[in-house]
Every structure is written in structure tokens, then in C-alpha cells.
Chain A
Amino acid sequence: EDKVVQSPLSLVVHEGDTVTLNCSYEVTNFRSLLWYKQEKKAPTFLFMLTSSGIEKKSGRLSSILDKKELFSILNITATQTGDSAIYLCAARTTGNQFYFGTGTSLTVIP
């Protein structure tokens, strides 16, 4: 059964901390791994990872994919209260099917 598992389910940190969010997948015909940030109601796209070992960065956020071990991590350094959100990952197949994890809820305390 194809599935995507995220951990932890929720996380509470203080401003300035660094966090690592995990996403593991077991998906047939895997193509790419996507990360989203959801604030309020509408998720926004963060990264799409297709190749192993190549880190993608955007400001304080970075992500990397390991296609051998079937997982991805999302790192956030020097966290801010504005980083509080649900972080969602999804595995995309070559047939354009998406499998979503249930998300990690991040709360950053001032």
C-alpha cells in the first residue's frame, strides 16, 4: 500500500531553535517529493525534490531527499513565530498520483 508518513505529528519550539521535520514514503513509481506550508486554510508550495542528495534552500528553509532510504527532511533554522504552521509533504508518482502525509504541526513560541 502506497503511503507517506510524517513525523513528528506536532512540535513546539522556542524562537531561534532549529527544527527538522521528517517525511518517509513508500510509493510505487515515485517521481518527486513535495513540501507545503499551511497557514490558516490554504497551503503554499515550498519545495519539490526529484533527485537524491541535492539540497534545496529558500531562506531559512532547506530540504533534501534520500531516494535510497525513501525519506525527506525539511529543516528550518532560527525559527520565528511566523513559521508556526502545518507542514505537509506529498509523494508524486510518474502517473501524477499524489500521496499526502498528515502533516506536522509546528508551533514557535516567542
Chain B
Amino acid sequence: GAVVSQHPSWVICKSGTSVKIECRSLDFQATTMFWYRQFPKQSLMLMATSNEGSKATYEQGVEKDKFLINHASLTLSTLTVTSAHPEDSSFYICSASGGGNYGYTFGSGTRLTVV
């Protein structure tokens, strides 16, 4: 149990376009989902926390108009990188929490390359 599917696993897009990344909890209801971005030196930076049916809470320094997060259902959250630029190229990963004994379960991540 407690499987989180993240899609796509990698994507290449042109500068100025938007990219949507999906994070789905397959066998539990994810009341809370987290979105991370990985920076050099292996660190994962929390971008935002989203609760189903409400607006996401963004961490300081994360542009909410650029990184749109939608958590419309208990099994799906999406991160849309709008007007992507090369500096947005990174690894994005989600995790979901459904309470109970599930703790936090991570998706497999998405490698975004903006050219």
C-alpha cells in the first residue's frame, strides 16, 4: 500500500512554455501533498504544501504565480511550471501524506529540462 505515482518522469520543453507534473496517490487518500525541488549538493527544497480543496502554502522565496499547485482531489495534485526558463530546469518530486500509518510517501520524481 501507500503508492504515489508521479508523471512524467522526465520532460524537455522550450523556454516560455508551461509544463504540468502530476502526483497521484494510488491506494490511499492524500490529504496533504508536498512538492520539492532538488538543488545541487543533493538537497531537497520544499516548495509548497497543498491540502485537498484549499490553496497551497508556498515556502518563502517560491513564486506562487510561476509554480501553480492544484490539489483538487484526495488523490491528485499537480504542479504547473508556467513560462518555464532554463533556470527552472531541475528535479521535482512530490510526496503525499494520508494520515494513519502511511506517513509520507514519495513519488519517483520528474526531471525537467528547459531549453
Contact = CB atoms under 8 A, between A and B. Distances in A.
Classify the interface of chain B: helix, strand, loop or mixed: strand
Interface in B2-52: 2-4, 10, 34, 36, 38, 41-46, 49
A102 B38 contact: no
Contacts of B54: none
Contacts of A101: 106
Interface string B86-113: 0000010101000001011111110100
Contacts of A41: 34, 46, 49
A53 interface: no
Contacts of A90: 109
- Identify whether the interface residues of A are mostly helix, strand, loop, or mixed: strand
B56 to A, nearest CB: 13
A97 B44 contact: no
A103 B106 contact: yes
A72 to B, nearest CB: 15
A87 to B, nearest CB: 11
A41 B44 CA distance: 10
B2 A100 contact: no
A86 interface: yes
Interface size class of chain A, counting residues whose CB lies under 8 Å from the partner chain: 20 to 34
Contact of B42 (A34, A42, A86, A97): A34
B109 A88 contact: no
A102 B105 contact: yes
Contacts of A102: 2-4, 105-106
Interface of A: 3-4, 9-10, 34, 36, 38, 41-45, 48, 86, 88, 90, 96-103, 105
User: Would you list the 3 A-B pairs with minimal beta carbon distance, nearest first?
Assistant: A105-B103, A45-B42, A42-B46
17 contacts: A3-B108, A10-B103, A38-B104, A41-B34, A41-B46, A42-B36, A42-B44, A42-B45, A43-B36, A44-B43, A45-B43, A86-B103, A100-B106, A101-B106, A102-B4, A103-B105, A105-B101
